[in-house]
């Protein structure tokens, strides 16, 4: 800003006038830019407030009132008892996806950052990013019509032979419309974000540490294990949390694949056991009115709070990391 | 005699050294190999769904492609009737995404300018933080927000294109900010200083130098963020609803969009066709329609991605 | 057991760019050889070819021979990983692994080499290596603390301990004191004097006094101009290089007239 504050040249009125109008523009432009930044904060606050406002009737209504006015609201329960299985289903789907996606994503990130030929790495990065570009409705179509039939024999085999593992128990679905299939599809969908963040962190590994390991006679994998992975650990954790956030909020793939149910069952191969908040809202919203809509928005508010917490934690870890690596 | 001893000791040392330098620990080498294979496999594993999905969409959807499919709506099309098309959905998607872009791009670019050129202190830090947090808002929540916002003015159960555009903007703004911020940061400080040294005020420097230099990158950022939201389904399902007719007015009533159309067709499932009759009744016509719309949608998304990358590659000034 | 290095007709490239041309030198065992020369003359690049660290950089390659007791390090049957285990290296900036304790840092190389090492053996090795690096007395009470908590000079000695814990034949040092204060520098130099009874040591340094203080033989590298390859100008006993060098440019450099 001090650049424009040069001493005014005497006597040139036009120049002075121009300068003052410049200053006006300068200030105006600055305030527009600041305004845009503030607008974003306002929007985020508005999202929270409007959801709360619309959810309030459902949050304050008694269980009996909700049961009377909202279709599919179980009798003899409160709002918490109603949203509980949905939260459970949401978390189960997201955690399942995360467990499948994280190891693969770390592998891909290492492949791009340390194993692939340098010249190819950018193109390979684009390819992985393309997975994020595919619309979720297409994932849903593909998951339901193509993937589920392919996975079903595998799920049945797991159910038959490994049913003593709690996750594989219960009556396995013969159509593949179960949580396990949803987990696989969600895992594919969150691969790109986990890969992208981990890749960035791995690329930031100080050359010094990699060379230290090499000079001790480490093989490439040992370099990765001693220098790259320990350095990138917190980055990978936050990448995983960002992926978790994505998986929690994913709607269409879940909606189109799963055969819904409202239980706390761990049987991921069984149909009609689980449902996620997002898919539940999308499924019931078109047919809801009045208090029913308020109830769905209240469920949405719960989802919003959960994802907000997960994302804020992830970003907080990233931000803390930045300071740490900057100090080094 | 002594010379001979000396030479044997030398060759001894040579042999010992050779042994040291050539005997690789086979266990470690095997681990290294195995991990290399595993990491290659991880990448290959990620390519499987990508190729499989693109292949399925192309082969399943290509059969439905025709002039009629692209220029007709599904008005008055029922059951297994193989007529009709996705024109109304294409137009709806273009209109709604266009409005969303018109809202998001100025806000996003201005915020990026604020963060890169002016941003200091707690406000900039919190904007950065919350932009990041906002990228994680579930799309359905954005839809619910738009619904609640419009319910304030129009009462509940309003559905129109504009609401969808607002919902998409909530999802799009943070993406625009993020990518444009990266692009603006690439503009070297020397250029800004050169401009200041010529007596150009800051705002003109930003408009004429910074934005001018990064215009290709900004275009890429905008195109990629459009590609990100154009396939959103859930928020539109909540805010815009479904219709079988063509509607160009985003302020009046429901509109169809490509992703919602695809979902809607999937939802209808198999048509009950009387046996024997096949020309006017195709049992799986809904799924065919769904794949057709998906193919068009993916085509648009991939095109946006491709154009975005190429714009940046071809038109960005060489800074280094 | 220290070993002799013989370098023959060595050309070092980055892609198509010839960085160092036509080096031939013999490095005697149980001695300290100093490499001096102006910035960019390729002495660090040359040092990194002695344990095949050079080829880590994409596009980098060498022509010619580097023989360790008559075995060409670049021979087809030689494993670069084994080379680096036998030719240890200490870097310009101390680089202990930030996520490991002091003890684990010392053991890092050993743990890579043979996966299991009994606890008493490990304790002995940690102590002997840290003693070898003159660091034992300073850190013996906090072996489990992170290595990054030490001072710069201590970190560098920790890196030396880490390098000698693998029991290499040769120790390469790339300006090991350039990031350190004079007192720490002195400690490292004393250490180099002690280590030379067991190892072949090659040290790159910018500091001519340091070369004169620690080395037995000195090699002077020079570069004709930007874009030209670096060359070995002359190599002789350190006292000769600093008192009566054969080449004019060496004399100019050691007397501080350029570089």
Query: How many percent of chain B have pLDDT more than 70?
Result: 93
Residue-wise pLDDT for A90-130, tens only, equals 999 999 999 999 999 999 999 998 888 878 888 888 888 88
pLDDT band at A183 (very low <50, low <70, confident <90, very high): very high
Domain boundaries A79-327, corresponding CATH code: 1.10.3720.10
A206 to chain C, closest Cα gap in Å? 9
Query: How many percent of chain C have pLDDT more than 90?
Result: 25
ipTM of the complex: 0.85
**Closest-approach residue (CA) in chain B for A43:** B170
Contacts (Cβ under 8 Å, ≥6 apart) of A277:
A83, A86, A87, A89, A90, A299, A300, A302, A303
Interface test with B, best of C50, C67, C82, C110 (most B CBs within 10 A): C82
pLDDT, greater one: A326 or B100: B100
* DSSP code, position A174: S
Give how far the C-alpha of residue A127 lies from the chain's centroid of Cα atoms, to the nearest Å.
20
pLDDT band at B101 (very low <50, low <70, confident <90, very high): very high
Q: Is A223 on the interface with B (CB under 8 A)?
A: no
Q: Judge whether residue B26 has pLDDT over 60.
A: yes
CA neighbor of B309 nearest in space, from A123, C250, A258, A213: A123
Q: Judge whether residue B6 has pLDDT over 50.
A: no
* C78 contacts in chain B (CB < 8 Å): 21-22
* DSSP code, position A2: G
pLDDT of residue A92: 92
Q: Is B19 on the interface with C (CB under 8 A)?
A: no
pLDDT of residue B12: 78
pLDDT band at B72 (very low <50, low <70, confident <90, very high): confident
Beta bridge partners of C219: C35, C235
Q: Is B154 on the interface with C (CB under 8 A)?
A: no
Contact (CB<8Å) A282/B147: no
C79 to chain B, closest Cα gap in Å? 5
Q: Judge whether residue C204 has pLDDT over 90.
A: yes
Q: What subunits make at least 3 CB pairs under 8 angstroms with A? A: B, C
Domain boundaries, chain B: 84-269+280-315
Of residues A206, A222, A231, nearest to C112 (C-beta)? A222
* B25 contacts in chain C (CB < 8 Å): 113-114
A118 to chain C, closest Cα gap in Å? 8
Contact (CB<8Å) C113/B14: no
Contacts (Cβ under 8 Å, ≥6 apart) of A326:
none
- E strand or H helix that includes residue B90: helix B87-113
Q: Judge whether residue A319 has pLDDT over 90.
A: no
Residue C175 falls inside a structural domain: yes
Instruction: Compute the C-alpha angle B267/B151/A71, nearest 5°.
Output: 50
CA neighbor of C4 nearest in space, from C193, C189, C199: C199
Instruction: Read off the pLDDT of each residue in A295-310 and give the average, rounded to a whole number.
Output: 91
* A282 contacts in chain B (CB < 8 Å): 140, 234, 237-238
B34 to chain C, closest Cα gap in Å? 16
CA neighbor of A209 nearest in space, from C56, B37, C153: C56
Contacts (Cβ under 8 Å, ≥6 apart) of B169:
B100, B103, B104, B107
Other CB atoms within a 10 A radius of the CB of residue C197 amount to 8
pLDDT of residue C80: 85
Q: Is A22 on the interface with B (CB under 8 A)?
A: yes
Residue C162 falls inside a structural domain: no
**Contact of A321 with A238, CB cutoff 8 Å:** yes
Q: Judge whether residue C115 has pLDDT over 70.
A: no
pLDDT of residue C221: 92
Residue C155 falls inside a structural domain: no
Residue C220, domain CATH = 3.40.50.300
| β pairing state of C17-27 and C200-204 | unpaired
Of residues C53, C100, C113, nearest to A214 (C-beta)? C53
Say if residue A8 is exposed, middle or buried (CB neighbours under 10 Å; 0-12, 13-18, 19+). Answer: exposed
**Closest-approach residue (CA) in chain C for A232:** C99
Instruction: Read off the pLDDT of each residue in C73-97 and give the average, rounded to a whole number.
Output: 87
Distance CA C92, CA C49 (A): 16
Q: Is A172 helix (H, G, I), strand (E, B) or coil?
A: strand
Which of A 110-139 lie inside 8 A of B, CB atoms? 110-112, 115-116, 124, 126-128, 130-139
Q: Judge whether residue C201 has pLDDT over 50.
A: yes
pLDDT of residue B83: 78
Could you tell me the two tokens for B11?
């060759």
Q: Is C208 on the interface with B (CB under 8 A)?
A: no
Say if residue B129 is exposed, middle or buried (CB neighbours under 10 Å; 0-12, 13-18, 19+). Answer: middle
**Closest-approach residue (CA) in chain B for C111:** B28
Q: What is the mean pLDDT of chain C?
A: 88
Q: Judge whether residue B132 has pLDDT over 80.
A: yes
Residue C116 falls inside a structural domain: no
pLDDT of residue B24: 65
Query: How many percent of chain A have pLDDT more than 70?
Result: 91
Highest mean pLDDT among A91-95, B9-13, B26-30, B178-182: A91-95
Residue-wise pLDDT for B256-313, tens only, equals 888 988 898 888 888 777 766 666 777 788 888 889 889 999 999 999 989 988 888 8
Q: Judge whether residue A237 has pLDDT over 60.
A: yes
| Chain C interface with A: residues with Cβ < 8 Å | 51, 53, 56, 58, 81-86, 88-89, 91, 93, 95-100, 108-109, 112-113, 159, 162-163, 166
Q: Judge whether residue B5 has pLDDT over 80.
A: no
pLDDT of residue C228: 86
Distance CA C201, CA C197 (A): 10
Distance CA C12, CA C61 (A): 6
Could you tell me the two tokens for B156?
């509940």
A77 to chain B, closest Cα gap in Å? 25
Contact (CB<8Å) C71/B21: yes
CB–CB contacts below 8 A, B to C: 46
Q: Is B22 on the interface with C (CB under 8 A)?
A: yes
Beta bridge partners of C62: C12
CB–CB contacts below 8 A, A to B: 284
Q: Please provide the DSSP assignment of B18-85 as one string.
A: HHHHH---HHHHHHHHHHHHHHHHHHHHHHHHHHHHHHHHHHHHHTT-SHHHHH---TT--TT-----
**Closest-approach residue (CA) in chain B for C170:** B17
Contact (CB<8Å) B144/A281: yes
Interface test with A, best of B100, B108, B140 (most A CBs within 10 A): B140
Interface test with B, best of C29, C51, C79 (most B CBs within 10 A): C79
Residue C232 falls inside a structural domain: yes
**Closest-approach residue (CA) in chain B for C167:** B20
Q: Is A270 helix (H, G, I), strand (E, B) or coil?
A: strand
CA max distance for chain A:
95
For the domain made up of B84-269+280-315, give the CATH fold.
Answer: MetI-like fold (1.10.3720)
Instruction: For chain C, give the secondary structure using H, E and C.
Output: CCCCEEEEEEEEEECCEEEEEEEEEEECCCCEEEEECCCCCCHHHHHHHCCCCHHHCCCEEEEEEEEECCEECCCCCCCHHHHHHHEEEECCCCCCCCCCEHHHHHHHHHHHHCCCCCHHHHHHHHHHHHHHCCCHHHHCCCCCCEHHHCCHHHHHHHHHHHHHHCCCCEEEEECCCCCCCHHHHHHHHHHHHHHCCCCEEEEECCCHHHHHHHCCEEEEEEECCCCCCEEEEEEEEHHHHHHCCCCHHHHHHHCCCCC
Q: Is B20 on the interface with C (CB under 8 A)?
A: yes
Q: Which range is least confidently modeled, B28-37, B76-85, B192-201?
A: B76-85
Interior/surface letters A245-270, b for 16+ CB within 10 angstroms, e for the rest: bbbbbbbbbbbbbbbbebeebbbbbb
Residue C15 falls inside a structural domain: yes
pLDDT, greater one: A10 or A110: A110
pLDDT of residue A120: 84
Query: How many percent of chain A have pLDDT more than 90?
Result: 20
Contact (CB<8Å) C99/A231: yes
pLDDT band at A327 (very low <50, low <70, confident <90, very high): very low
DSSP H stretches of helix in B121-214: 121-134, 139-154, 161-185, 189-197, 202-204, 211-213
Beta bridge partners of C112: none
Note the pTM of the prediction, 2 decimals: 0.84
Q: Is B114 helix (H, G, I), strand (E, B) or coil?
A: helix
Q: Which range is least confidently modeled, A29-33, A126-130, B157-161, C125-129?
A: B157-161
B24 to chain C, closest Cα gap in Å? 6
Residue-wise pLDDT for C12-37, tens only, equals 998 888 999 889 999 988 899 999 98
Q: Judge whether residue B214 has pLDDT over 90.
A: no
Residue-wise pLDDT for B144-179, tens only, equals 999 888 888 887 677 888 888 999 999 999 999 988
pLDDT of residue A14: 55
pLDDT of residue A108: 93
pLDDT band at C238 (very low <50, low <70, confident <90, very high): very high
Q: Tell me how many domains chain C contains.
A: 1
């Amino acid at each position: 800003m001090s650049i424009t504050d040069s001493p005014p040249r005497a006597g040139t009125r036009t120049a002075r006038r121009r300068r003052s109008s410049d200053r006006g523009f300068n200030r105006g432009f600055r305030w527009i830019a600041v305004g845009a930044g503030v607008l974003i904060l306002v929007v985020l606050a508005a999202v929270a407030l409007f959801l709360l406002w619309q959810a309030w009737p459902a949050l304050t209504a008694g269980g009996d009132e909700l049961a009377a006015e909202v279709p599919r609201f179980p009798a003899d329960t409160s709002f918490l008892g109603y949203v509980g299985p949905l939260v459970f289903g949401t978390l189960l789907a997201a955690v399942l996806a995360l467990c499948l996606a994280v190891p693969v994503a770390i592998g891909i990130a290492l492949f791009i950052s340390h194993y692939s030929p340098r010249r190819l790495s950018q193109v390979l990065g684009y390819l992985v990013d393309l997975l994020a570009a595919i619309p979720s409705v297409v994932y849903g179509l593909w998951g339901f019509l193509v993937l589920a039939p392919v996975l079903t024999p595998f799920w049945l085999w797991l159910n038959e032979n490994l049913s003593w593992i709690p996750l594989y128990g219960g009556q396995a679905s013969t159509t593949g419309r179960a949580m396990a299939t949803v987990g696989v599809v969600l895992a594919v969908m969150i691969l790109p974000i986990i890969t992208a963040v981990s890749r960035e962190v791995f690329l930031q590994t100080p050359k010094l540490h990699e060379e230290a390991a090499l000079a001790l006679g480490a093989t490439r994998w040992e370099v990765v294990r001693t220098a790259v992975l320990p350095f990138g650990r917190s980055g990978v954790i936050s990448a995983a949390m960002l992926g978790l956030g994505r998986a929690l909020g994913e709607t269409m793939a879940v909606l189109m694949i799963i055969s819904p149910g409202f239980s706390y069952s761990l049987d991921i191969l069984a149909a009609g056991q689980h449902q996620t908040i997002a898919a539940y809202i999308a499924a019931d919203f078109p047919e809801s009115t009045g208090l029913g809509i308020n109830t769905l928005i209240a469920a949405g508010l719960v989802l919003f709070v959960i994802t907000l917490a997960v994302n804020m934690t992830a970003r907080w870890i990233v931000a803390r990391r930045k300071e740490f690596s900057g100090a080094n | 005699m002594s010379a001979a001893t000396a030479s044997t000791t030398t060759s001894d040392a040579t042999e010992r050294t050779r042994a040291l330098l050539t005997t690789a620990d086979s266990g470690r080498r095997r681990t290294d190999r195995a991990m290399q294979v595993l990491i290659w496999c991880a990448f290959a594993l990620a390519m499987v769904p990508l190729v499989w999905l693109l292949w399925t969409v192309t082969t399943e959807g290509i059969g439905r492609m025709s002039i009629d499919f692209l220029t007709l709506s599904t008005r008055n099309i029922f059951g297994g009737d193989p007529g009709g098309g996705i024109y109304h959905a294409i137009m709806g998607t273009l209109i709604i995404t266009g409005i969303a872009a018109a809202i998001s791009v100025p806000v996003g670019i201005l915020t990026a300018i604020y963060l890169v050129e002016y941003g200091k202190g707690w406000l900039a830090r919190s904007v950065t933080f919350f932009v990041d947090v906002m990228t994680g808002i579930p799309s359905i929540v954005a839809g619910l927000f738009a619904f609640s916002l419009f319910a304030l003015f129009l009462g509940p159960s309003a559905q129109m294109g504009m609401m969808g555009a607002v919902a998409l903007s909530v999802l799009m703004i943070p993406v625009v900010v993020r990518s444009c911020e990266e692009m603006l940061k690439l503009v070297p400080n020397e250029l800004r200083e050169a401009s200041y040294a010529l007596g150009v005020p800051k705002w003109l420097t930003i408009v004429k130098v910074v934005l001018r230099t990064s215009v290709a990158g900004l275009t890429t950022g905008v195109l990629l963020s459009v590609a990100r939201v154009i396939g959103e389904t859930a928020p539109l399902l909540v805010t815009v609803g479904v219709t079988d007719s063509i509607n160009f007015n985003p302020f009046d009533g429901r509109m169809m969009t490509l992703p919602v159309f695809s979902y809607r067709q999937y939802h209808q499932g198999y048509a009950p066709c009387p046996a024997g009759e096949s020309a006017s009744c195709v049992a799986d016509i809904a799924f065919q329609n769904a794949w057709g719309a998906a193919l068009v949608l993916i085509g648009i998304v991939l095109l946006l991605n491709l154009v975005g990358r190429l714009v940046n590659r071809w038109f960005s000034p060489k800074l280094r | 057991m220290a070993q002799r290095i013989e370098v023959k007709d060595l050309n070092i490239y980055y892609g198509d760019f010839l960085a160092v041309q036509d080096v031939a030198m013999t490095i005697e065992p149980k001695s300290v050889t100093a490499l001096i020369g102006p910035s960019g003359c390729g002495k660090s690049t040359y040092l990194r070819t002695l344990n095949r660290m050079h080829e880590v950089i994409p596009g980098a390659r060498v022509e010619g021979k580097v023989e360790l007791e008559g075995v060409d390090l670049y021979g087809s049957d030689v494993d670069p990983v084994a080379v680096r285990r036998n030719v240890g290296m200490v870097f310009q900036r101390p680089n202990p692994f930030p996520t490991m304790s002091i003890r684990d840092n010392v053991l890092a190389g050993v743990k890579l080499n043979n996966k299991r090492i009994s606890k008493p053996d490990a304790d002995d090795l940690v102590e002997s290596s840290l003693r070898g690096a003159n660091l034992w007395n300073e850190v013996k009470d906090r072996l489990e603390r992170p290595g990054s908590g030490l001072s710069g000079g201590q970190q560098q000695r920790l890196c030396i301990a880490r390098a000698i814990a693998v029991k290499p034949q040769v120790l390469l040092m790339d300006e090991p004191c350039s990031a350190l204060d004079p007192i720490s520098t002195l400690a490292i130099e004393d250490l180099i004097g002690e280590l030379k009874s067991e190892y072949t040591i090659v040290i790159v340094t910018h500091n001519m006094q340091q070369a004169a203080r620690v080395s037995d033989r000195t090699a002077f590298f020079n570069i004709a101009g930007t874009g030209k390859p670096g060359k070995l100008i002359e190599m002789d006993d350190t006292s000769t290089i600093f008192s009566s060098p054969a080449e004019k440019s060496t004399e100019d450099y050691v007397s501080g007239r350029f570089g």
